[in-house]
Amino acid sequence: MVHQPVRQQSFAPWNDPEARPLIRIEGVSKSFGTFVAVDKVDLDIYPGEFFSLLGASGCGKTTLLRMLAGFETPSAGKIFIDGVDMARIPPYERPVNMMFQSYALFPHMTVAENVAFGLKQDGLPKPVIRDKVRAALELVQMGPFAQRKPAQLSGGQRQRVALARCLAKEPKVLLLDEPLAALDKKLREQTQLELVNIQDRVGITFVMVTHDQEEAMTMSARIGVMRAGLIEQVGTPVEVYEYPATSFVADFIGTANMFGGVVTADAASHVVVRSPELERDLSIAHSGTLPVGAPVTVMVRPEKMTLSRDEPAADWNWVQGTVSDIAYLGDISIYHVALASGRRVQVSQTNLRHGSEQRLTWDDVVYAAWHPANALVLTQ
Amino acid sequence: MNQPLGNRLSGLLRRWGRFLVGLPPYAWLVLFFLVPFLIVFKISLSEMQAAIPPYKPLLAWAEDGVLQLRLNLGNYRYLLTDDLYAVAYLNSLKIAAISTVGCLLIGYPMAYTIARAPKGNRNALLMLVVLPFWTSFLIRVYAWMGILKSEGLLNAFLLWTGVINEPLQILETDLAVYIGIVYSYLPFMVLPLYATLEKMDLSLLEAAADLGCRPFRAFLAVTLPLSLPGVIAGSMLVFIPAVGEFVIPDLLGGPDTLMIGKVLWAEFFDNRDWPVASAVAVAMLVVLVAPIMVFQRYQSKAVDS
């Protein structure tokens, strides 16, 4: 995680109006029969970016990726890569390479032959191919396995070979379709950081499809959250987590407590929301204006709340209930608080103090409280 | 009282179950392959005589209670002295090999098309490939006589279109035999090819395209090598029975079409020389065992990797 704060400060071409995107997706749709897989998507991806398309299965993320690779033709809209319209360009002439979810290694070829395959298609001289194959395999630490067949490799090793095979071609864009889905948890976490490091080193633009929000958060410069063929929000991991644009994004990324309600008052810096599920009105920081009576959703993350037996300060929002469940995870504990309305609220608390003695326990009557600035009003 | 008996029975079943399940195929092979082969082998080592059966027994009582075993290798030596047999063997191998290549050239595109057809259509297309089996083999070969003969359908059509001025002599030539074998054995080529092509992971072709490979080169570099097990299985299924084919060369071939199946027939029924005929049969088996062994080795290698 060390690299990330550094990069986020220095690398944000999407905020620079002068920056030219490497990939420009303009109003792209794709339908299969009557099913609309991708629905009028607009998206710019910048050179050197690690971009993730995040969504549940069937949301259209893989279809969008396959349109970038050229395996699917858009029903409508245009895709430009490096300024060139891709409409009439077949997959074998595109400056992109794709790493398949199944890795799609050629089973009848050795590791070295697999990596050399793409270079041979370019008609490069043999010594150049040999050097490039060696360099690519070294990059993913698979040099000693060059003469093995894919069947003789573990899942993690196959994944590395698939990556090397793409990187050896030095594409402008590398497309990754659920690259880590087939690996077990430990290996996956390790590989996440390694992929990001490799991407930093080679400087190629990565576009990754994943259903794993943690993976997307760890690896990406920006995330595009997709649902039902639409991109709900594009933003940095911090943006999509702290400032979700819609209640779907808030719910999909991490855990969120959400209360439906209506606006009862709109001040300059905050709005007051009344929810039928809560006894008290909520006061939430909000800079825009909202008409009184507008239906909204208030979103609070579990870690933004505090739990206590004592009534919180007057300017805080709080709900009162009884502790119905405690999940002790070591570093944190997650408390489920049942409100009088039957609604349950999740609160996570860092276990700051050493020891087995719990401050709060089952059936305690508690206040879950949060500061108005630590919640969000969502209108969609 | 019942319980221990039941337990003992189930224990017995468990011990012998595996053996019992394995028994029928072994019994089948012993009864219908090994025993007949040994009988043929035995006859091939005996001498001919004009009697019923038309060969002398191997074991005979000589005088003074001595049991005599007379092994006659003359039949095998005879196969070597008369080059009719060697020519017939070689010609059979040649005709089978060319027919196999013909089946491959026609069968591969067929299998490929079926394997890449929409899933719902594949079974119907496969059914069409197998459909001719519903008519007797003999009738189908006779039908080809009707098509290929001088005043047959093919010549009538060609004369009518004006491509030729006089009928072509196709029936009673090697060409007719090739046509007959390719036609009859094509399903045996298509089915194993289809099986390998159908289970191929199509993302491999996408990967090839993604890496800059044009479709035809991707076929040569990926599809073809990966379908090799099907090519070999199909070729064996066509080649091996084609070598011993008798009906097709007899009905469609001419007097010059020399195949070992025809020679075998002639020895048995025209010459009534069972010992030599048996020697021909044993020799044919030996000739065919070589390609079968190659096939087996390849198969076990494929299973290993």
User: Does B71 reach chain A within 8 Å, measured CB to CB?
Assistant: no
In this structure, is residue A148 part of a structural domain?
A: no
- SS3 state at A17: coil
- The CA-atom distances, in angstroms, between A215 and each of A51, A119, A219 are 12, 31, 6
The number of beta carbons lying within 10 Å of the beta carbon of residue A156 is: 15
Closest CA to B115 of B199, B54, B34: B199
Task: Specify the CATH number for the domain of residue B111.
Answer: 1.10.3720.10
Rounded Cα–Cα distance for residues A198 and A270 (Å):
44
In this structure, is residue B12 part of a structural domain?
A: no
Task: Specify the CATH number for the domain of residue A285.
Answer: 2.40.50.100
Count of helices and strands (H, E) across chain B: 15, 2
In this structure, is residue B281 part of a structural domain?
A: no
Greater confidence (B9 vs B31) lies with B31
pLDDT at A80: 95
Q: Which domain holds residue B217?
A: 82-272
Same domain, A330 and A217: no
Q: Which domain holds residue A264?
A: 255-378
Same domain, A243 and A187: yes
Average pLDDT for chain B: 88
Residues in chain A predicted with pLDDT less than 50, given as ranges, are 1-8
In this structure, is residue B65 part of a structural domain?
A: no
- SS3 state at B20: helix
Same domain, A358 and A323: yes
**Count of domains for chain A:** 2
Phi, psi torsion values for A211, nearest 5 degrees: -105, 0
Rounded Cα–Cα distance for residues B267 and B246 (Å):
13
Greater confidence (B282 vs B60) lies with B282
Q: Are A188 and A160 in contact (CB under 8 A)?
A: no
Same domain, A284 and A368: yes
Instruction: Determine the average pLDDT of the residues in B194-213.
Output: 94
Same domain, A195 and A286: no
Same domain, A308 and A360: yes
A97 contacts on B by Cβ (under 8 Å): 210-211
pLDDT at A78: 94
- Name the percent of chain B lying above pLDDT 90: 50
Rg of chain A taking only CA atoms, in angstroms: 25
Same domain, A352 and A267: yes
Do the interacting molecules here have an ipTM over 0.95?
A: no
Lowest mean pLDDT among A349-363, B126-140, B175-189, B231-245: A349-363
Rg of chain B taking only CA atoms, in angstroms: 26
pLDDT at A2: 38
Same domain, A346 and A222: no
In this structure, is residue B86 part of a structural domain?
A: yes
In this structure, is residue B280 part of a structural domain?
A: no
Q: B115 vs chain A: nearest CA distance in angstroms?
A: 19
Instruction: Determine the average pLDDT of the residues in B138-147.
Output: 92
* Angle at CA of residue A238, ends A237 and A241, nearest 5°: 85
In this structure, is residue B180 part of a structural domain?
A: yes
Q: Between residues 90 and 149 of chain A, which touch chain B (CB distance below 8 Å)?
A: 90-93, 96-98, 100, 102, 104-108, 117-118, 121-122, 149
Same domain, A233 and A284: no
User: Does B202 reach chain A within 8 Å, measured CB to CB?
Assistant: no
* Residue partners of A126: CB distance under 8 A and separation at least 6: none
Interface test mutation site (partner A, options B200, B201, B210, B226, max chain A beta carbons within 10 A): B210
What residue in A sits closest to B204 (Cα-Cα)?
A104
Dig out the tokens for A336 from the structure: 């489920």
- Say which of A108, A149, A169 has its CB closest to residue B211: A169
In this structure, is residue A340 part of a structural domain?
A: yes
pLDDT at A358: 63
**Count of domains for chain B:** 1
